[in-house]
Amino acid sequence: MGDARERLVTREAPETRSRFPHFQQIPTRWMDNDVYGHVNNVGYYSYTHI
């Protein structure tokens, strides 16, 4: 068995905002968010549903 350092998983650095040419702010309703302020899964569907 190796030590803990050998078992760590390495990841690539996340992309920076400057890499994306456009941002769209989407207002959410109170019912779209959970207690932690995260958008509920069903909320994402309503953004794309016409």
Residue 39 near residue 27, CB atoms below 8 Å: no
In the prediction, which pLDDT does 43 show?
A: 65
Q: Which of 22, 25, 44, 17 is nearest to 33 (CA)?
A: 44
- Distance between CA atoms of 42 and 49, rounded to whole angstroms? 11
Asked if the model's pLDDT at residue 7 lies above 80, the reply is no
Q: What is the pLDDT of residue 2?
A: 55
- Give the model confidence (pLDDT) of 20-45 as tens digits: 898 888 888 888 888 888 887 776 66
Residues 6+ apart with CB under 8 A from 39: 28, 32, 33
